[in-house]
Structure 1
Amino acid sequence: MSGVIEDDVEARIALRINSLHVSLILTSDTNEKALQDSGLFTPDAETPYVDIAGRRFHIGTLNARFIVYVKIGGNSVNAAIAVQILLNRFRIQGIIHFGSAGSLDEKSIVPGDVSVPLAVAFTGAWNWKKFGSDKGALNFGEFNYPVNGENLLASVDYDTIKLFSKGHSPQDVFWFPSTTSWYSAATQVLQDLELSQCYDGVCLPSKPKIVLGTKASSSDSYIKNKAYGEFLHEVFNVSTADQESAAVAWTSLSNEKPFIVIRGASNVAGEASPGSHASYLASYNAFLAAAKFIESIPTPRLACE
Structure 2
Amino acid sequence: MSRINLAVLVVLGLLLVTAKQSTQMSLKNPTSYIETSNCKVAFLRLGLVLTSDNNEKALRDSGLFEPDSENPHADIAGRRFHVGTLNKTPIMYVKTGTHSVNVATAVQTLLLKFHISGIIFFGSSGSLDKDILMPGDVAVPKAVAFTGVWEWKKFRSESKGKLVFGDFNYPENGENLLGTAEHQKIQLFTTGEEPKEVFWLPISSSWYEAATEELKDLELKKCHSGTCLPGTPKVVFGSKASTSDFYVKNKAYGDFLVEKFNASTADSASASVALTSLSNEKIFVVFQGVSNVAGGKSSNSGIKYIASYNAFLAATKFINSIPTPRLACE
The alpha carbon displacement at 1:63 in A equals: 2.4
Q: Equivalent residues in 2 for 1:81-100 (5 A)? A: 81-100=105-124
1:21 is aligned to 2:45: yes
- For 2:12, the equivalent position in structure 1 comes to none
Contact 1:21 1:92 in 2 (8 A): yes
The TM-score, its normalising length taken from structure 1, stands at 0.95
Which runs of at least 4 in structure 1 moved beyond 4 Å after TM superposition? 15-19, 301-305
* Cα distance change on mapping 1:93 and 1:142 into 2, 3 Å: same
Contact 1:104 1:230 in 2 (8 A): yes
Q: Which amino acid aligns with 2:313?
A: L
* Cα distance change on mapping 1:39 and 1:143 into 2, 3 Å: same
* Alignment size in residue pairs: 301
Q: Name the SS of the counterpart of 1:259 in structure 2.
A: strand
Q: Equivalent residues in 2 for 1:66-77 (5 A)? A: 66-77=90-101
Q: Name the SS of the counterpart of 2:90 in structure 1.
A: strand
* Cα distance change on mapping 1:165 and 1:8 into 2, 3 Å: closer
Cα distance in structure 2, aligned partners of 1:56 and 1:304: 27
1:46 is aligned to 2:70: yes
1:216 is aligned to 2:241: yes
1:9 is aligned to 2:30: yes
- Unpaired segments ≥5 residues, structure 2: 1-25
Query: Which residue of the other structure, out of 128, 138, 151, is the alignment partner of 1:114?
Result: 138
Q: Name the SS of the counterpart of 2:30 in structure 1.
A: helix
- For 1:34, the equivalent position in structure 2 comes to 58
* Cα distance change on mapping 1:103 and 1:11 into 2, 3 Å: closer
Q: Deviation digits for residues 84-143 of structure 1, max 9, x if unmatched? A: 110010000000010000000100100000000000010011011110113210000000
Aligned residues with identical type, % of pairs:
62
Query: Which residue of the other structure, out of 80, 86, 101, is the alignment partner of 1:56?
Result: 80
Cα distance in structure 1, aligned partners of 2:221 and 2:27: 38
- Unpaired segments ≥5 residues, structure 1: none
The alpha carbon displacement at 1:274 in A equals: 2.6
The alpha carbon displacement at 1:6 in A equals: 5.6
1:280 is aligned to 2:301: no
Cα distance in structure 1, aligned partners of 2:267 and 2:327: 38
Q: Which amino acid aligns with 1:111?
A: P
1:255 is aligned to 2:283: no
The alpha carbon displacement at 1:247 in A equals: 0.7
* Cα distance change on mapping 1:278 and 1:161 into 2, 3 Å: same
Cα distance in structure 2, aligned partners of 1:304 and 1:53: 29
Contact 1:218 1:243 in 2 (8 A): yes
The alpha carbon displacement at 1:202 in A equals: 1.5
Contact 2:44 2:324 in 1 (8 A): no
- For 2:171, the equivalent position in structure 1 comes to 146
Q: Deviation digits for residues 230-284 of structure 1, max 9, x if unmatched? A: 1001110010000011011000000000000100000001111131111000000
Q: Equivalent residues in 2 for 1:138-217 (5 A)? A: 138-217=163-242
Query: Which residue of the other structure, out of 230, 233, 239, is the alignment partner of 2:264?
Result: 239
The alpha carbon displacement at 1:46 in A equals: 1.1
The alpha carbon displacement at 1:303 in A equals: 5.2
Cα distance in structure 1, aligned partners of 2:180 and 2:216: 40
* Cα distance change on mapping 1:54 and 1:18 into 2, 3 Å: farther
Cα distance in structure 2, aligned partners of 1:18 and 1:147: 65
Cα distance in structure 1, aligned partners of 2:155 and 2:31: 56
Cα distance in structure 1, aligned partners of 2:153 and 2:29: 51
Cα distance in structure 1, aligned partners of 2:219 and 2:108: 33
